[in-house]
Amino acid sequence: MTYFPPCEQPLIIWGEEREIVSKEVVQVEEVCQEILKRTNQVEKNAFLLDLKQVKEGLKDPKIGTLFSKLNGDEVYVGTFLSVLAIFQQKVLFAYADDLDPDVVDKRFKALMDQLVTVEKTYLSLGGVIGYHAAVKRLLAMDRRKIESRKISRASGPDIGSSNETRQKAVIEGLRLMPELAEIYPIGGLGSRLGLRDRFGIPLPAAALKFGGRTLLEGLLRDLEAREYLYYKVFGHEITTPIAMMTSHEKHNHLHIKILLEQNQWFDRKPETFFLFVQPSVPVLTEKGEWVMRGDLELYLQPGGHGAIWQVASQEGVFDWFAKLGRKVGVIRQINNPIAGVDDGLLAFTGVGHLNNKVFGLASCDRLVQTAEGMLVLSSNQKGVTLSNIEYTDFKAQKIEDCPVKPGSSYSCYPANTNIIYVDFEKIAPYIAKQPLPGLMINMKTKLDLQSSKTGRINRLACGRLESMMQNISDELVGRREEELPTFLTYNSREKTISTVKQSYFSERSMVETPVGAYYDLLKNGHTLLKNHCKVKVPPFSKQYEYLENGPSVLFVYRPALGPLWDVIGQKIVGGEFMPNCELNLEIVDLKLFNLVLDGSLLIEAKNPLGRTESSRFGCGGGRAILENVVVTNLGIDRRIPQTWWKNEISRLEACMITLEGNGEIILKNIALEGNQMITVPDGERWTAKGFEEGKVVWIKEKITNPAWEWKYALRDNAINLELVENSTDHKLFSPSKELQTLAQQTRQQKREGERSD
């Protein structure tokens, strides 16, 4: 089916446009309460059939005809009667008299299937009636009761600080990997990103190319890095099971399946994935009417990621995890590509496990006036809870989104990052108690709606009932903060959250855009080089400089190189990077000491993790040693615009090293000038002998085993690396003054030659 955006084709409200009537709200509430008292479907139907509005509705010949098509199925009958009980039959069950009977039958069946899904999803609220009552309750603001509570800033460990507590948490998080599962809510549409394929069909946010790879691949590469680190430290290969909550909106579920299949499940087995669908829910106007796409066609949208608890329970996701021996999990959203940087996720899960917690939230400083919720310690007569307040609810909660102090960019409360720790077994009773936490309605969608009675088209605010997954924490109450079964961690914002929610437009803020997220990613890389690798680097670009001229240093790497910065800092040591240089490392087994870089250097191992037919990780991957090497070339063409965040980069010159299979390269005490394309075949080791007439002179050897490897060892809650050599001597030499100055001289000569041309 083709879906048209509201701006291209009006949607239709069948029936009259009516204001919310308080009497009707009360009626619906009363019906809802009576339905909740009855657990048997037959009893529910008997109650509904006795309602005055239902009896009157069934007298309509058209309604009666549709009712007869249900053939007595109790659930479908009850769902149908529920529509009459909430006075929406003229909206949902109206259709043009000249509509083909076969079309009526087909659409009516599809409509009832959708309504039954709503009935089952919101069974704890009262089904279709409960859904409608909750929306009415939230829309009738004069009747809304704001709970009396006191909020304050929650305490929690700072996992961004280098201390013994953090180190213990990181190692505990690593030890926990065999018991860990991951859950990704990826039902987002990416509508504000304008993401479409070449045929103009909307694509899910998971398919957005960021840094040359989809956001989904980015999450999986982060996970792979932690799995590989576990393999190197403990010697056992693990594959973490992953559950993904998709949606049917604009074929999101189908797109995700295709994305996985086209990428061969990203080097994982298909059976390690569990896809389940987030329910879509009816959209209503601010006047309380349900919205239709047309005759007997309901307008639905995803009902918020809070459905993850109920749907995962119903679909057997938690049972699947239990059978695989996975006791705890991390939930991470698709639109935050920064969360896997360094040791943040390991430290976060380690804190939760060390303290025997049920549920946890990772946090950082929150930028004011952004679409981010805030995490607070909430206190009332029942006790205290760790709670999230969504940004759309600030006004209703009488919260002013102001900075912690004048002139600051940050709020006094930390950000909700939707990075969650959960103990599956311990959370189960809380899910049973509140399967749809954090219910709210956000009327932020504007739709062009047409009345079937008048034909008039109006642009109205519309919305749907949503639930927030992090608000399950509201059910975990303690007498004092230190007794809570929940926890909160703090980390630097740059290493915790930078989202891609909307497209970037000139003169606007980079916050929540791919441009801003990539800027933060590169800034992290700069910090890594400077503080952990002890590389001399130029200052990183200010935002306005980045937008105008690009990054002063472009450093990106495969996460499995670490992912811990302390590990990468043992593989990359010393050297100097000139302004506007680029280092791209798609390699894991690397020793890069005292590199002087002026231009672009790209190193790619085609089999970086030593994958074989029987295992994902091994020692037969490509590897490289560069010691006291100077690389000089013209690098990135800064004269033309570059799309940095897509990794769509044009270069004047580059040194590109490709290692096929288990190919190895050894470069010591050598200067590589100009454009260099070096490809080492599988089963060979190339050692640079010298550089003559613009070309490298090589010693080429056939190999079966690697010449060297990094040995990872745990000592005093830290991971220490030792380079163990199998055959070749790789002693470190100090660079000569000539090597240190060659880069600047060569660069200047090439620039002068370029200007003369």
User: For the chain, which domains are there?
Assistant: 21-139 (no CATH), 141-493 (3.90.550.10), 555-756 (no CATH)
Of all residues in the chain, the percent with pLDDT exceeding 90 is 74
pLDDT at site 731: 43
The yes-or-no verdict on residue 687 having pLDDT over 90 is yes
pLDDT higher than threshold 80 for residue 505: yes
User: What pTM, to 2 d.p., does this model score?
Assistant: 0.91
Stretch 375-395: mean pLDDT: 90
Q: How far is the C-alpha of 388 from the C-alpha of 381, rounded, in Å? A: 18
Tally the residues of the chain: 757
624 phi, psi to nearest 5 deg: -145, 140
What value does the mean pLDDT of the chain take? 90
pLDDT score, position 141? 56
Alpha-carbon Rg for the chain, nearest whole angstrom, is: 30
Is the per-residue pLDDT at 5 higher than 50? no
| pLDDT at 152 exceeding the cut of 60 | yes
Return the pLDDT at 398.
80
Compute the average pLDDT of residues 444-455: 80
How does residue 22 score in pLDDT terms, banded at 50, 70 and 90? Answer: low
Closest to 184 measured CA to CA, from 317, 353, 279: 317
Give DSSP secondary structure letters for 221-258: HHHHHHHHHHHHHHS------EEEEEE-GGGHHHHHHH
Give the pLDDT band (50/70/90) at residue 735. very low
Amino acid identity, position 42: V
Per residue in 23-46, pLDDT tens? 777 888 999 999 999 989 999 999
Query: Which of residues 661 and 692 earns the better pLDDT score?
Result: 661
**Cα angle: 209, vertex 211, 213; to 5 degrees:** 45
As a whole number, mean pLDDT of residues 103-126 equals 94
- pLDDT higher than 50, residue 622: yes
Segment 710-733 mean pLDDT = 79
pLDDT in tens, 294-324: 999 999 988 889 999 999 999 999 999 999 9
pLDDT of residue 395: 79
- What average pLDDT does this structure show over 441-460? 82
- Helix, strand, coil distribution of the chain in percent, nearest 5: 35, 25, 40
Lowest mean pLDDT across 76-80, 499-503, 519-523: 499-503
8 Å CB contact between 121 and 114:
no
The secondary structure element, H or E, covering residue 744 is helix 737-756
The residue among 286 and 159 whose pLDDT is bigger is 159
Q: How confident is the model at residue 746 (pLDDT cuts 50, 70, 90)?
A: low
User: Binning pLDDT at 50, 70 and 90, where does residue 585 land?
Assistant: very high
Q: What is the pLDDT of residue 97?
A: 87
**Cα separation of the two ends of the chain:** 57
- Cross-strand partners of 667: 626
**pLDDT at position 753, please?**
55
pLDDT score for 370: 86
Q: List the single range of 163-167, 185-189, 552-556 with lowest mean pLDDT.
A: 185-189
The proportion of the chain whose per-residue pLDDT surpasses 70, expressed as a percent, equals 92
Q: Are 550 and 636 in contact (CB under 8 A)?
A: yes
* Measured distance CA(443)–CA(460) in Å, rounded: 9
- The closest of 379, 282, 272, 373 to 326, measured between CA atoms, is 272
Q: In the prediction, which pLDDT does 26 show? A: 83
Q: Could you tell me the pLDDT band of residue 16, with boundaries at 50, 70 and 90? A: very low
Looking at residue 751, what is its pLDDT?
Answer: 53
Nearest to 238 by CA among 180, 166, 316: 180
CB 476 within 8 A of CB 358: yes
**Span 72-87, mean pLDDT?**
95
* Strands, sheet with 486-490, edge to edge from the N-terminal-most edge strand: 273-278, 242-247, 180-185, 328-331, 420-423, 359-363, 486-490
* Mean pLDDT along residues 137-154: 70
Provide the pLDDT confidence category of residue 369 given band limits of 50, 70 and 90: confident
Using one digit for the tens of pLDDT, what is the confidence trace for 594-605? 999 999 999 999
Close Cβ partners of 356 (under 8 Å, ≥ 6 residues apart): none
Mean pLDDT computed over 715-737: 70
90: left (phi over 0), alpha (psi -120 to 50) or beta: alpha
**Residue holding tokens 């459905």?**
307
Band of residue 196 on the pLDDT scale cut at 50, 70, 90: confident
pLDDT of 173: 98
CA–CA separation, 658 vs 661, rounded Å? 10
State the pLDDT at residue 200. 83
**Which position has the higher pLDDT, 2 or 51?**
51
Q: What is the pLDDT of residues 522-547, one digit of tens each?
A: 999 999 999 999 999 999 999 999 99
CA distance 14 to 294: 8
Average pLDDT over residues 176-190: 92
